[in-house]
């Protein structure tokens, strides 16, 4: 059996001291509807946690609360030892929360290289932090261009670096989003349905990129995903949300086979497990 909600909370709290990301009683309501209800859990480095649940479970809203797109009605978000609940989206991004969206979130009239470079530069610290490198022209920033090109090489997009983003295929745009996240070099990678809308032959490319991130970096990766085969393939841990509440949290095999997940997904207890396998 996976941990129940109360068990998972105590599990998370027990490990809270080493947690990279923590949410404490995090929630939001819209009118009378509690979209996310007091979710407390923590996420650790070097692990990929899949956040699953049926449509309307509150997964994307939970992501929005963590990344700051939506202000929380209750609770807190902690990044390492810092409470980031009051910070804006851009401040949280600079602190290390990197977020990719369900819908591609790119700069369509800039080239592929410019998109990556923009992200890499916005993450710079020191005297360039606020962008007042007034005299530094494009051709002077060879190091940034090289860095951006390296990232594009790592996602097999070096050949497209001069292409306008709006002319890329949907799959390439998702790849570019992953590349932009890599350019941010965040502490926490947040992927919201990274394979949504992709053709069958494009899906493995993006999944391989995420797998590479998981293998070669010691980062915290959060993944919202509907496709259970993808979750089974990538996840080290699964957190299940249902009606805005955390209902299960544990190892993938036991969570997927648990009655609570079967009921949440299929409306049946114990039966039809094959559908989720």
Site string for another protein, 115-154 (x = CB under 8 A): --xxx-xxx----x-xxxxxxxxxx---------------
Residue closer to another protein (CB basis): 133 or 259: 133
Q: How far is the CB of 161 from another protein (least distance, A)?
A: 8
Burial of 103 (0-12, 13-18, 19+ CB in 10 A): exposed
Contacts of 85 (CB under 8 A, 6+ apart): 72, 75, 76, 77
β-pairing, 220-224 vs 188-192, is parallel
Residue closer to another protein (CB basis): 181 or 246: 181
Residue closer to another protein (CB basis): 20 or 180: 180
| 33 near another protein, rule: CB under 8 A | no
Q: Residue 183: helix, strand or coil by DSSP? A: helix
Residue closer to another protein (CB basis): 118 or 205: 118
Phi/psi for 2 (5° steps) reads -70, 165
Q: How far is the CB of 112 from another protein (least distance, A)?
A: 9
Residue closest to 183 by CA, chosen among 160, 226, 154, 162: 154
User: Given candidates 89, 158, 196, 260, which one binds another protein under the rule CB under 8 A?
Assistant: 89
Q: How far is the CB of 146 from another protein (least distance, A)?
A: 13
| 34 near another protein, rule: CB under 8 A | no
User: Given candidates 3, 93, 235, 240, which one binds another protein under the rule CB under 8 A?
Assistant: 93
- Contact between residue 179 and residue 150 where contact means Cβ atoms under 8 Å apart: no
| 113 near another protein, rule: CB under 8 A | yes
Hey, what are 172's tokens? 């390439």
Burial of 192 (0-12, 13-18, 19+ CB in 10 A): buried
Residue closer to another protein (CB basis): 24 or 106: 106
Cα–Cα distance measured from residue 62 to residue 65, given in angstroms and rounded to the nearest whole number: 5
> What Å distances lie between residue 256 and 228, 237, 244, 276, CA to CA?
9, 10, 18, 7
Hey, what are 40's tokens? 């407390």
Site string for another protein, 228-267 (x = CB under 8 A): ----------------------------------------
Residue closer to another protein (CB basis): 91 or 199: 91
Chain residues binding another protein by CB under 8 A are 67, 69, 88-91, 93-94, 99, 101, 105-111, 113-114, 117-119, 121-123, 128, 130-139, 161-167, 180, 184
């Amino acid at each position: 059996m996976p941990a129940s909600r109360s068990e998972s909370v105590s599990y998370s709290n027990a490990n809270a001291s080493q947690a990279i990301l923590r949410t404490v009683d995090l929630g939001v309501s819209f009118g009378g509807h509690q979209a996310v209800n007091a979710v407390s859990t923590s996420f650790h480095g070097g692990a990929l946690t899949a956040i699953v649940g049926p449509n309307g479970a509150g997964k994307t809203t939970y992501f929005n609360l963590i990344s700051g797109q939506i202000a929380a009605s209750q609770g807190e978000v902690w990044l390492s030892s810092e409470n980031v609940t009051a910070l804006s989206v851009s401040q949280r991004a600079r602190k290390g929360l990197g977020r990719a969206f369900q819908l591609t979130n790119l700069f369509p009239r800039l080239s592929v290289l410019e998109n990556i470079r923009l992200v890499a530069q916005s993450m710079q610290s020191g005297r360039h932090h606020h962008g007042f490198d007034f005299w530094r022209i494009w051709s002077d920033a060879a190091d940034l261009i090289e860095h951006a090109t390296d990232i594009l090489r790592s996602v097999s997009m070096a050949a497209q670096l001069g292409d306008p983003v709006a002319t890329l295929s949907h799959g390439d745009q998702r790849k570019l989003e992953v590349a932009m996240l890599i350019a941010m070099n965040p502490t926490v990678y947040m992927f919201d349905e990274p394979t949504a809308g992709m053709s069958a032959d494009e899906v493995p490319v993006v999944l391989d990129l995420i797998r590479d991130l998981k293998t070669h970096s010691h980062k915290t990766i959060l993944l919202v995903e509907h496709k259970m085969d993808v979750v089974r393939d990538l996840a080290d841990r699964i957190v299940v949300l249902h009606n805005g509440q955390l209902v299960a949290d544990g190892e993938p095999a036991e969570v997927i086979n648990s009655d609570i997940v079967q009921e949440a997904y299929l409306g049946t207890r114990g039966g039809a497990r094959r559908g989720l396998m």
